[in-house]
Structure 1
Amino acid sequence: MKKEDAKVLLKRYIEGVASDEEKLFVEKSILEFNEDYMELSQDRIDEIKEEVYAKLSVHREKKIKLYIWTSVAAAVLVIILAVTHWELEENLQLMAKTEVIEDIAPIGNRAILMVGDKVLTLNGGKQGLNVSRDGVQYLDGSVVDNNITSQLSQTLSTPRGGQYRVVLSDGTKVWLNAASSISYPSSFDGAKERRVSVTGEVYFEVAKDRAKPFVVASRGQSIRVLGTHFNVNAYGDYGTTATTLLEGSVSVSLVDNDGGAKILKPMQQLIAGNGRTVIRTADVELAMAWKNGVFEFKDASLKSILNEVARWYDLDVEYRGEVPDRVFNGSVSRKSNLSVLLKILSYSDIKFRIETDGATTKKLIVEP
């Protein structure tokens, strides 16, 4: 089999359009060459997979299809390479030709807690906070600060590159994405409702309390619930606010809309902004990707992707020249270093490099 024919076969198999005969050939190859596959180290497999994956799946068109591979498809890739006697190093030479990108690792747990006029940098090794009448503790029970007055309202915020979790005094669980915040009272005792305010992107699992509704104020809207699971994306750079309901029921009231509250059912999403309000079936996998530790892109523009990159890797982004307008589909672990994501994007006629301004500020330069 020629290399070109093997490429076509591999692509057809991964896309699910191969004939029965072609599928049989591929699966037979897996069995025959399983021993060769097992002899390769996992690092070697990952390296080959990443490079060939990008070469086969990126097309020089407006829409870039980055196919999500199953573990079987990944195995098929290596097997087909072995079957057709491709030189594996040939697929790695592209890496050597690619401009070296300064690598940046994701930061992970990092947040700032404001209690009155006191500002605390939270321990990044902890998983989150627990708010109670006794004060503020980490989820493992260790004390954040012995001098915190529990009666004061609090604001928990994550910087770019950070994320954090907090369990409020009523048992409501909250996850904050990068560059986000939540303000809440130390206790809801005596209040008619449980009211908090957020910026950025926040996911809630609200503790049920029929006598005391839970209200979330975000940019341009107010969400009222009794007990439910939902996500609010209110980043300013999107121009819209997206409320995605996973479980229960929510009532969304818009500040600039006199049409009354909008009621969402499970697996629905409300998009509000730019003078429009739309309720549609939610792509829950896409909406919850950040909480599940994944960058998930579906017909995503380069700019929207790099907005997420800037928040997660704590970068500024600068476009220089006529950068091609591309659309991407695929997923990358948020635990990956920046170079992994940029290497995939670079196969679409886009170049990336890092410039450092001073000791800490990093700028991602994007060029055609």
Structure 2
Amino acid sequence: MKNAKELLDKYLSGEATSEEKALVETWYLQEGLPPSDLSQQQLQEEHDMGLKALHSQISPVRRIWPRWAAAAVILLCVGTAAFYMTPAKQHTQPDVAVNVTEADIPAGSNKAVLTLSNGKKISLTDAAPGSLAREYGVSAEKTADGELVYTSNDASSANEYHTITTPAGGQYQVTLPDGSHVWLNAASSLRYPVKFIQQERQVELSGEAYFEVNKQAGKRSFIVQTGGQQVEVLGTHFNISGYTNDAAIKTTLLEGSVRVRNKPGSDVLLKPGQMAINNPAKGAIRVTAADVEDVMAWKNGLFIFNNEHIRDIMTKLARWYDIEVQYEGDMTGVAFQGNYQRSRSLVNLLKTIEQTNSVRFKTEGRRITVIRQ
């Protein structure tokens, strides 16, 4: 970013990236000049008033950019409209209840278990880098970066399967025997052949994963089976969220093309930037424009809450922080907006949400109770 004026102009015009928004909003919080439910004219007045002060801070802030630019602060909204919380109001409301205990809950990390074809389980969390298994001419190795990588050493055939499973509070990356890359979100599993010897490369997913499928000679299709849905591709990048406790399976295409099917004759073909929403109970697949930044937030190390209901937010937090959530009171209309870095611990996020004075939290070990104010 060249200077403070350019940064603030982009922010006010709505053209700033998530990283640039985080930079401006962090400064607002520090200076006591936060964006709230102000008009654009009032924001412009704050722009003029704060430009000189922000400009003096840009240089030192830029030096720490890589450390926190992915997302530094969460801004919240309540209800159906997108309003921004004002720290000045926080300072004038000392009676805001902060009920989160100081016993913090750490963020999730690279954790997974590999189940071999013979049923043996290997903790990828604890295993040292190096070879983990060799079956049917295929080696499974853990890299120094904590990725599971398969390499084929001969032409032997097999019809055996491995399964990689992430717990709540875990995520993992795997390079499949065909060279395709898969990132698994928390509480997910992927079952795949030790060697792709069939005409179709087929895997089974439970939970959420992002795929970068390696295109192979002979146009061998790659199929992902998720619940009652089948996704067929050749070589492409896409995300599937198919947790069993979610109402719908969501398939988002980033690059290439995918065919989504939930029953014979019900195929839909996605274009990049589109999402297929498959509700098994209704039997129909709906195609809509996707907010790719929101969909890919988990892989990019972020939570992005875009006027999202508190129950949906807590479902995501439960998977990533390995917590149990319960509710007291009517949560109708309680929604929040903002960004938060997934690598940070839970307590500050809950405290920030509490400062909206809409809900408060009671923490008992790993059980979080959300209480309507």
- Global fold match (TM > 0.5): yes
Q: Is the 8 A contact 1:295 1:331 kept in 2?
A: yes
Q: 2:295 — aligned with what?
A: 287
Q: Please report how far the alpha carbon of residue 14 of structure 1 lies from its aligned counterpart in structure 2 after TM superposition.
A: 8.6
Q: 2:112 — aligned with what?
A: 111
C-alpha distance 166-61 of structure 1, shift in aligned 2 (>3 A): closer
Q: Please report how far the alpha carbon of residue 66 of structure 1 lies from its aligned counterpart in structure 2 after TM superposition.
A: 4.5
- Whether 2:134 is the aligned partner of 1:134: answer no
Q: 2:370 — aligned with what?
A: 366
C-alpha distance in 2 between matches for 1:130 and 1:262 = 40
Q: Is the 8 A contact 1:131 1:168 kept in 2?
A: no
Equivalent position to 1:202, from 209, 220, 237: 209
Q: Which amino acid aligns with 1:203?
A: Y
C-alpha distance in 2 between matches for 1:217 and 1:176 = 15
C-alpha distance 216-131 of structure 1, shift in aligned 2 (>3 A): farther
CA deviation vs aligned residue, 1:288-344 (integer Å, no higher than 9, x gap): 000000011112100000000110011111112334531111111101111122112
Q: 2:27 — aligned with what?
A: none
Q: Is the 8 A contact 2:340 2:349 kept in 1?
A: yes
DSSP-derived class of the 1:237 partner: coil
Question: Aligned-pair RMSD on alpha carbons?
Answer: 3.9
C-alpha distance in 2 between matches for 1:227 and 1:326 = 40
C-alpha distance in 2 between matches for 1:365 and 1:324 = 16
Equivalent position to 2:232, from 224, 228, 232: 224
C-alpha distance 121-131 of structure 1, shift in aligned 2 (>3 A): closer
Task: Name whichever structure is richer in helix by fraction.
Answer: 1
Q: 1:351 — aligned with what?
A: 360
Q: Is the 8 A contact 2:77 2:335 kept in 1?
A: no
C-alpha distance in 1 between matches for 2:171 and 2:315 = 16
- Whether 2:311 is the aligned partner of 1:311: answer no
Q: 1:73 — aligned with what?
A: none
- Unaligned residue ranges in structure 1 (runs of 5+): 1-6, 70-76, 145-149, 357-361
C-alpha distance 349-13 of structure 1, shift in aligned 2 (>3 A): closer
Name which of structure 1's ranges 134-143 and 156-165 shifts more when overlaid on structure 2.
134-143
Larger RCO of the pair (alpha carbons < 8 Å, separation 6+): 2
C-alpha distance in 1 between matches for 2:362 and 2:124 = 32
Q: Please report how far the alpha carbon of residue 128 of structure 1 lies from its aligned counterpart in structure 2 after TM superposition.
A: 11
C-alpha distance 106-125 of structure 1, shift in aligned 2 (>3 A): farther
TM-score (norm 2): 0.73
Q: Which amino acid aligns with 1:294?
A: L
C-alpha distance in 2 between matches for 1:142 and 1:324 = 42
- Whether 2:49 is the aligned partner of 1:25: answer yes
Q: 1:236 — aligned with what?
A: 244
Q: 1:72 — aligned with what?
A: none
DSSP-derived class of the 1:325 partner: coil
Figure out how many residues of one structure are paired with residues of the other and give that number: 318
Q: How much identity, in percent, do the aligned residues show? A: 33
Equivalent position to 1:214, from 217, 222, 226: 222
Q: 2:123 — aligned with what?
A: 121
Q: Is the 8 A contact 2:76 2:337 kept in 1?
A: no
Q: Which amino acid aligns with 1:265?
A: K
C-alpha distance 313-95 of structure 1, shift in aligned 2 (>3 A): farther
TM-score (norm 1): 0.74
Q: Is the 8 A contact 2:302 2:340 kept in 1?
A: yes
CA deviation vs aligned residue, 1:31-64 (integer Å, no higher than 9, x gap): 5xx38x979xx9xxx9xxx9xx88xx65665546
Q: Please report how far the alpha carbon of residue 97 of structure 1 lies from its aligned counterpart in structure 2 after TM superposition.
A: 5.8
Q: Is the 8 A contact 2:80 2:307 kept in 1?
A: no
Q: Which amino acid aligns with 1:99?
A: N
Q: Is the 8 A contact 1:161 1:179 kept in 2?
A: yes
Q: Is the 8 A contact 1:109 1:126 kept in 2?
A: no
Equivalent position to 1:272, from 265, 269, 278: 278
CA deviation vs aligned residue, 1:270-292 (integer Å, no higher than 9, x gap): 00104132111111001100000
